[in-house]
Chains A and B, each alone.
Chain A
Amino acid sequence: MEGEGVWGQQMEQTEPLVDEANRADTPQLKEGAEAGERKRSEVVAAARAAGLCVEEGAPGTQLLRFAHGLNSDELRLMELPHGVLGALKEGERVVIRGEQGENAVLCTEGATYELRTADTSNALLLVPSLSYSQDNSLGEDPLPTKGVTMCLSNYLELRPCRPRTEKLRQLLSECPYRGPEYEEESGEDDKDDWEERRRTKSRKVKIDRPRKYMFSELVEVVQASERELREALQKLQACLISGYWRLLEADYVEQAVQHILALLEEKDWPWTRVPLSSTSHHLQELLPRFVIKHCLDCYGTKISREDNSEADTYYELSVEKVCQFYAVLLLRQAGKFNYSEFMESWQQSVPLGMETDLGQLRRLALRDMSAMPPVIWYFPLSTLPQEPADRFNCLFSARQRWTQNDIEPYIDDLATPTQSLSALLLKYARVSTVKGVKMYNAKRTFK
């Protein structure tokens, strides 16, 4: 919708025959044009003078006039991508969310779009009852007049984008759950803070002590659709405790999982069929039931039975997740591990019947097989920055050169509908070929 203003240029080339009254810097609306209707004959004559073939009946003619109170209604134009129009028609809740100094986003119930103002150098005239061709409404007497209600030079653009959920981890880390003995009865105060803000219509909430958040509050602070927010909470393995979304402290979860696995071994219960209630019962001195359930949900899947005849709920633990758990347990303790020693310890630590596999370490650890001896170390995706530029910086600091296979797991969460994986690599990395293998390194060198 962009273009140059050509009015000024045009007028400099005006024919000398053009009447004085016509010479101006820009095409101008006729003086006194407000005075009454224009006669059809006048309009037809003007059209013919311009070289148009217009019949006496003027079936394809309409007069455009600026409405009284032009631009008085604050109307905005906004481009609607397919998904947004669809969502609106389905009656979904569509909300624009923004903070000062940040780009606003538009959220349907399931997707997020970046909102930008597209400035054009053109005049966009809104004519509600405009006809787009010769039609029956035209050719009347007097000639139909259509009002121009708005004259705009910009419109709002929507582009699909990743939900901005980085803040979520930070917010939920303020007050992680560490066990019932550490919980305070501070819930009511927190709620008042938020309500107070609502009453005073302030945009700011002062947080001067660790705070817990409810879903409705997170929605107001995180730029994401509700569905994406729920997905992010699930990915973070957050837990809904008494109406608040909480992260469980890492050490606490570690201990809980270890208690559960130790119990399984002690009782000789198969990890393919872990009984929730029995486990809770045996561990009741140590862990609340909801923590056990949360761990089982995170590290396994509920086994559903059609007849619901079982007295207890059973879970099958996931080989991948339990092996990853033990890998992290080992790797978190030290810097760099001797690779072969690690692989051996790792296999020995997992429950009988589970097989460890290098593939399970995707997004968790990096190896250097060319070192003497080969080493492996903890390098989790979850601790890396979300912004592509920062992410690539981090990756290249950790390791100068990457194969496609190695780097992909650490960047595939950055891909968006508008920016593919290969586009990201093109933008942030330099490709080279070493011994026939494609390698990626930083575009700029680091210290």
Chain B
Amino acid sequence: VKSKSFGFRIIRVMVQLLLRLSNPGEWGLVELQGQLETRDGAPFDGMHMGDLHFDAQGTPSLIIGHHLLTGKVVELDKPLAVLAKRSSKDWGVANNDTMDHAGNQESGMIEYEIMALVRKKILFKNRPKPIITSTLPIKHT
């Protein structure tokens, strides 16, 4: 016996992303104020970024182009996880519509692997100082 007229509704099922922690390593992080640019917007790939120096007290300095930045090593209150999207192929499981409680991928689930944790960072927030050189730089070809 149907009690009352029902009409219809759409129910949205949520996207579900499963997080996996495999044996994560610890990665490093450098934080700079503002954004980096290349001349003419050339791609960064493979390009040298800068020289990072630590003095005996552990203070980091970074030379980018003709600028010097001074920073400090900061411990993060909460570690950062580095997430990488993974498809079922990467886990060696066939992409079938089967539910498997043995921990294999379930259909409809996208997986993210936590590849690494970041617990510290080098923060450069002081104004960059231009490095004054008295000679013209030699241009590379």
Contact = CB atoms under 8 A, between A and B. Distances in A.
Contact of A97 (B15, B44, B79): B15
Contacts of B2: 209-210
A62 B54 CA distance: 9
The size class of the interface chain A forms with chain B is 35 or more
A75 B83 contact: yes
Interface in B30-46: 30-39, 43-46
Given A97-B15, A151-B44, A126 B50 contact: no
Interface in B8-32: 8-19, 21, 25, 27-32
Given A203-B12, A205-B11, A66 B19 contact: no
A153 B35 contact: yes
Contacts of B45: 66-70
B61 A52 contact: yes
Given A130-B29, A210-B6, A95 B16 contact: yes
A6 B33 contact: yes
Name, among A18, A96, A97, the residue most crowded by chain B CB atoms within 10 Å (CB to CB): A96
Nearest to A135: B54
Contacts of A69: 45
A124 B118 CA distance: 12
Interface in B102-133: 107-108, 112, 114-118, 120, 122, 125, 127-133
A306 interface: no
B108 A198 contact: yes
Contact of B53 (A34, A61, A80): A61
Contacts of A210: 2-3, 6
B83 to A, nearest CB: 5
A94 B132 contact: no
A19 B137 contact: yes
Nearest to B30: A125
Contacts of B33: 3-7, 121-123
B118 to A, nearest CB: 7
A64 B30 contact: yes
B18 A66 contact: no
A282 to B, nearest CB: 28
A443 interface: no
A79 B125 CA distance: 21
A89 B139 CA distance: 52
A35 interface: yes
Nearest to A30: B65
B27 A127 contact: yes
Contacts of B120: 132
A50 B116 CA distance: 34
Contact of A47 (B18, B38, B51): B51
Interface string A34-51: 110010000100110111
B132 A127 contact: no
Contact of A68 (B10, B46, B85, B133): B46
B12 A99 contact: yes
Contacts of B7: 208
Contacts of B93: none
A71 to B, nearest CB: 9
Interface string A81-97: 11001001100011111
Contacts of A253: none
A300 B51 CA distance: 72
Given A94-B19, A130-B28, A28 B37 contact: yes
A88 B139 contact: no
Given A65-B48, A133-B58, 15 more contacts: A7-B128, A47-B61, A62-B51, A63-B50, A65-B46, A68-B46, A80-B78, A123-B33, A125-B31, A126-B28, A127-B27, A206-B9, A207-B10, A208-B8, A221-B11
28 contacts: A3-B33, A5-B34, A19-B133, A27-B128, A49-B133, A50-B63, A60-B54, A61-B52, A61-B54, A62-B51, A75-B115, A88-B114, A96-B112, A97-B17, A98-B15, A99-B12, A123-B35, A124-B29, A124-B30, A124-B31, A125-B32, A126-B27, A130-B122, A132-B58, A148-B49, A151-B44, A221-B11, A221-B14
